[in-house]
Structure 1
Amino acid sequence: MKLVHAIILFLLMVERAYASVYPLPADNSRLLGEPLSYQVETGDYFQALAEYHDVGLLALMAANPEVDPFLPAVGSYIQIPKQMLLPFAERKGIVVNLSELRLYYFPPGESLVYVFPVGIGREGLATPKVISHIGDKRKDPVWRPTKAYRQRYFQEHGKTLPKEIPAGPNNPFGKYALRIDTSEYLIHGTNQRMGIGMRASSGCIRMYAPDIEWLYFNVPVGTQIRIVDQAIKMSYEPNGAKLIEVHQPLSEQGQISMTSLPTAVNAFIGDSESARIQLSDLLSQPSGLVVTLEQ
C-alpha cells in the first residue's frame, strides 16, 4: 500500500506542475519572488517535489544540502528555490542561464517573466552559448539522431539505433519542440523526467511536459533566444541591499575561488571583509538561493 500511495502522490504532483510567473521588476532591480519553504509530508521525495513546484532537481538539492532527497524527514521544512535574480541580459524573448539551469521568457507587451527549470547538455556535449531566434516549432517531433550519436550509442550499448524515431514513448523529444534557428539544437520535452534541472542531454534544452507545452503555444517563431552562463548573479536593489545568488559552475569551467573572481564580482563585493567571508562560504557550497550581503 505504501508503494501504491507513493505512486499516486507522484502522479498527482506531476499533473500539478506549473510555471513560475513573476511581475517584472523595475529596471533598477533584478529580484523575483519571495523565499518559500515547504513542510515535508509522508511520501514526499525530491524528484516529485521538484516537479510539483516546477524547479530543477539539482536546484532543490543545492538549496537543502543537509536533507536526504529520497527520505526527507516528515514535518521538517525545506527551501524551495522560487526566489531568484534575473540574469544580466536584455529582458527580451527567451534567456537561458546554463549554470542555474533555468529558462526565462519575457512576453512582448507584458510586464511579466515566466521562469522554467531546464536540463542542458552534459559535459563534453555542452549546450552552446548563442544569441539567435526560434526558427521552427514542431508538435510530435520525429527524432533523427546524428551519426555521431548513433556511433556513441552503439559503443555504449552494443545496439544499433534507428536513424529515425517516430513520436511516442521512445522519443526523447516528447510532444513538443522549438528549434534554435536552423541548428540541431532544440528546446523540447522529454521521456526522462530525471533529466530536468540537470546536465543530461546531448546539447539540447529539456523541459517538463507542461512547461514545453505552454512554451510551444505561447512563444512565436522568430522570438529571440539568448543562452548565457552566469554562475554568479548580483543586484544592487533600490532599498540599498546588495543581493547575490551563487550556483555551481559548469564542471569544465572549474570551481570559482576568491582568487579567480570576475572583475565585476570583485567590484560588487568591495572592501567589506564580512562580505568576502560570506561569498567564500557561498562559493564552497553554492546554494542557488538569493542572499543579502553583509556590508
Structure 2
Amino acid sequence: MTDNKPLIEQRADPFIYKHIDGYYYFTASVPEYDQIELRRAKTIAGLADAEKVTAWRKPDSGAYSELIWAPEIHFNHDAWYVYFAAAPTRELKDGMFQHRMYAIKNEHANPLQGEWSFCGKIETGMDTFCLDATTFCHKGILYYVWAQKEVGIKGHSNIYIAPMETPTLLAGAPKRLTIPELEWETRGFWVNEGPAVIKKNRKVFISYSGSATDENYCIGLIYADEQADLLDPASWTKIDKPIFQTNAKSKMFGPGHNSFTVSEDNSRDVLVFHARNYTKIEGDPLWNPDRHTFVKYIEWGEDGMPIFGCPSQTLKN
C-alpha cells in the first residue's frame, strides 16, 4: 500500500476487527445506505479484494428502513453482533435526522455464513437522534459507547457511555463524556460522534470525530486511567486540540470516523479512518460517495499517549 492510496474505495465509517480466529472482519457504510456489508481476510490488505457478503438489508418501510449508517461488528458473549443506526425516513425533523440504534446477531463461527437475526432497538432512555455505537470490555464489564442528541444541549450529538447487561440491553443510565464545545468541533455542525476505543499504557482512550463531514471533519481524544470509574465523567480528560485532521498538502481531507485494529503480527496498533482526496463536493457531502477507507500505524509517545501523525502516512508492506 502506498501513500494516499485507499485500502477500500467508497466505504465511509470503516470498522476493522481482528478476531481470535486470525481473520480481519470489515464493515462500513455503503454509499447507498441500504445494507450491512461484511468482508473478511487473513490480512488487512486482503480486505480490499475480499468477497463482499450482505449480512442484512433494510426493509422497504418502517422505523429502520432508511439511511443505514456506521455498522460495527463485534464478538460479545460468544456471538457476533453488528450495531448500526437507521432512520424511518430521509427527512429532517427540527433540523435533525431521525436515527435510532439497532443490532443484529449471528451465532455462527463465521459471521459471513449462518443467519443474522434482528435484535431490535438499543434503548438508551433518551428518545432522540443517536448513532455510531461501539462496545468494549474492561475489567469484566461490557460497555456501550455512542453519540446522541440531548435536549437542552446545543449541537447535534454528544458522546455517552453505559454498562451493558447483555449485548443489546443497557444496565445503567447513560453518562455524558464530552460535548461539542471547542472551535474545531463546531465547524459547520456541532458534533461529537464516531467513538472508538483503544486500551494501552494503563489508559482507556476514546477517539471521536467533530464538525461537519467535509474537510472540517477531524478526530479528537478523551482518556481515563484504567483503574478509574469509567462511568464517572470526571475520570475523563479531554484533549483541547484535534489529534488528526485535514492535510491539504497531501490531499487528505476530513479524516475521521475511525476505528482501531492491530497488525498481522499483533506488534503494532493500526488506525482505520475515512477521508476524501478533494474538497469541491457537488451537492450535499452526505451523498458524496468518495469517503474512502484508509489505514495507518499509530505511534506511542514516551508519555503513553497515541501519536496519530499525518493522514498521508499509510501502511506499507
TM-score for the superposition, normalised by structure 2: 0.27
The structure richer in helix per residue is: 1
Greater relative contact order (Cα < 8 A, sep 6+): 1
Larger Rg: 1
